[in-house]
Amino acid sequence: MSQEKSLTDYLGKKVSQYYRPNILMLAESVKLSEACTILKKKDVDEIIVVDESYNPVGIVTDEDILTKISESLVNPSKTTLGDIMVFPLISIKEDQIISEALELMRERKIRKLAVMSNSNLVVGILYLDTIVNLVKKSLVKQQKQSTLWGVIWNLGVVLQFTGVLMFIPGIVATLLNDPIVATGIYLMSVLLIVSGFFMNSYGEKQPITLRGTAILVFASFMILVLFGMIPQLFVIQFDSSDPVELFANGFFESAAGFTTGGFSLVQNPEDLPRSFTFYRGYAQFVGGLSFIYLIVTAFYSEKRVSTMKGFISGNIPHLKELFAIITAIFSIYAVIIALLLFYLGGGEILDDFALAFSALSTGGSSPDSKIFQEFTTPEYVVIIAGMILGALPFSFHYAFVRTKFLSINLTKEVAVYLSMLVIFCIIFIFSMDVNWLDSVFNMISASTTTGYATISLENLNPIAFTVMIIAMIIGGCGFSTAGGIKIFRLMQLSKLRHILNIKSVKISESDRKDIIVGIIILAVSIIIPLLIATHMASIGYDFQNAFFDGVSAITTTGHGAGTVSAALDPAITMIFGFLMILGRIEIILLVYMFVPKLMK
């Protein structure tokens, strides 16, 4: 329904539906003092003045009375309503429509009309405010409808965009003569494009509200994960024929890909076709970039992005340029990292690209369970650099192209993150009985929420366990592919003392909202894993390891302490899959969806 049609429907309704029937009619001879008493008793704002035959001849409002009483020459006890009334009485028939009433008010420059019955009796008053509220109601209704169709249209764009991107690993599988892998990927891509086409056809290209964009982001990841199950079920030979268990396993693997969660039920990925391990890393890369694309082009308008702390600073370019730049930068990073790994290690180039994609997207998917055993120190340095690049804010990378936009706020966030990373690494080195390189690698993997592991993380000692949990929950910088509550929110949480201290300096509304968001995400990141760990402990799993894996899932880290495996009950497998989706979209989107007033 168009806005014009919706508004016409309201303005075409009869006056009889909207006038106020509570009216006061008094004779011309009534004195002002008496009229004031009656007005107060009847709780109305106007008086219809009638003659001796009870015919309406004029109108007096409370404002008219106050104006006359304030004049020094007017005696309220002697002045009558007939002396001050506005006449003739301007009226409209009750079977006329609202648009006619609005036109009459505009011509006469008045804000209320007497409503007359067919027998010329005054039956009520129609106010301009009533018509204004009708217009507002029409616009609100239209806005909700526009949001729905706008969400559908934008969702179609996202699906088509992702479908086209996913043809690339399909082509790779075709060139490597892996028909099963290629078929699964092509089928997923075609379904994404076709579904997106139909959504574009039925939706409308319109601006959407903050709640609408939250729904868009959530729906996008859910649909991508569901369609992403197709290649997983085509290629991976799960040890089950139960359709429920197969669905849960496929959902989990797909969620781990597009959300950059990094978990996997596959113990030996080296047994999978090379083209499929390339696809797994590429899916995480697309998932990471799609997240940025959704946040920039949908969740935040250009005006809104310019006010978001920890994101982009300075003048904001057009969104198409923004997305093109980040795609180009991260693609260049991926090529450089892959070529360096190939040059330093001389392994499979597809595996090197899979590692590069996964590191930059902080995904953690590995093409070989033993690949890091043969890594040299330079190769470790390259992967570490890739993980850190993925955890830095996009504005840091954008500064390489548009250096004038690099601001001191951004520098503070990066400085805080790198400082904390160094502290975490030092603590972990001294708390673990492993070589320093493994300690640094695994801690950086946790802090960037990547999830690569070269050591066992089961039953960590209290210090190592605590520091790694903290690192995963905090995560990387704002507006990066990393998970966690983000450094910029951690910096905002430090202002919580200003809210608690009445005498402290007042904080801005924007800071207050950021603090609320940070508290919500922090609480959820701890409470939900605790609930999962409690349940899993009741069925025989180790509480600490289950809590560790729960935190790892909701922060999209992918570090495993042994509880996440193919032996999990399908329901728990699905829960871990949803946790990764929740961690990627962040719980705050659900707040915007279901409790939008909280963040207004």
pLDDT band at 600 (very low <50, low <70, confident <90, very high): low
Predicted local distance difference test score (pLDDT) of residue 544 = 95
**pLDDT of 1 above 70:** no
Expressed as residue numbers, the domain containing 482 is 239-498+506-599
pLDDT at 406: 46
Q: Which of 83, 114, 134 is the last residue of a domain?
A: 134
Rounded-to-integer distance, Cα 158 and Cα 224, Å: 9
Report the distance separating Cα 300 and Cα 316, nearest Å. Answer: 12
State which of 74, 100, 134 marks the end of a domain.
134
Q: Give the number of other CB atoms < 10 A from CB of residue 393.
A: 25
Query: Residue range 241-250: average pLDDT?
Result: 91
Region of 314 on the Ramachandran plot (φ > 0 left; ψ -120 to 50 alpha; else beta): left
Query: How far apart are alpha carbons 403 and 194 in whole angstroms?
Result: 40
State residue 147's pLDDT score: 65
For residue range 42-95, list pLDDT tens digits in order.
778 888 888 887 888 888 887 777 777 766 566 777 888 888 888 888 888 888
What's the pLDDT score for residue 322?
A: 62
Q: Is pLDDT at 401 greater than 70 in this prediction?
A: no
Give per-residue pLDDT as tens, 128-152.
Answer: 888 777 766 655 555 544 567 778 8
478 in the same domain as 592: yes
> Taking 50 as the threshold, does the pLDDT of residue 179 lie above it?
yes
172 inside domain: no
Q: Which long-range CB contacts under 8 A does 591-596 form with residues at least 24 apart?
A: 591/517, 591/520, 592/210, 592/211, 592/213, 592/214, 593/211, 593/214, 593/215, 593/218, 596/210, 596/211
Structural domains of the chain, count: 2
The closest of 117, 200, 181, 555 to 362, measured between CA atoms, is 555
> What's the whole-number average pLDDT of the chain?
82
pLDDT the model gives residue 358? 92
In a domain, 249, yes or no: yes
The pLDDT assigned to 343 comes to 92
Residue type, 34: E
- Among 133-137, 330-334, 491-495, the minimum mean pLDDT is found in 133-137
Asked, for residue 189, whether it belongs to a domain, the answer is no
Which of 134, 160, 187 corresponds to the end of one domain? 134
The CATH number covering residue 57 comes to 3.10.580.10
Whether residues 127 and 261 share a domain: the answer is no
Task: Give residue 340's pLDDT band: very low, low, confident or very high (50, 70, 90).
Answer: very high
Question: Has residue 580 been placed in a domain?
Answer: yes
| pTM for the full predicted model | 0.73
The pLDDT value given to residue 187: 96
Share of residues in the chain with pLDDT > 90 (%)? 33
Average pLDDT in the 321-344 region?
Answer: 86
Residue 263 has pLDDT above 50, yes or no: yes
Instruction: Give yes or no for a contact between 498 and 505, defined as CB atoms under 8 angstroms apart.
Output: yes
Residues across the chain: 600
